[in-house]
Amino acid sequence: MPECENCDAVVTEEYVKVFAPRGMDTVRVCPHCEDKLRDGADVRKARSPRQ
């Protein structure tokens, strides 16, 4: 199973197909990463709390 590069949580292959850039088989940030967000090609700290 694929894992999040940030927190090592297991994510589904379908999630990777939707949220990972082309050619990647993992995601940089997943829903379990409460303090991080995808920002274009980068990952940044969330400016406000995620709910």
Phi-psi region at 17: left, alpha or beta (left = phi > 0; alpha = psi -120 to 50): alpha
Q: What pLDDT does residue 49 have?
A: 65
- Classify residue 23 by its DSSP letter: T
Q: What pLDDT does residue 32 have?
A: 82
Q: What pLDDT does residue 14 have?
A: 93
Structure tokens at 3: 């894992």
Q: What pLDDT does residue 13 have?
A: 93
17 by DSSP, 3-state: which? helix
Q: What pLDDT does residue 11 have?
A: 93
Strand partners of residue 10: 3
pLDDT, tens digit, 9 for 90 and up, residues 4-44: 888 899 999 999 998 888 888 998 888 888 777 667 777 77
Confidence (pTM): 0.65
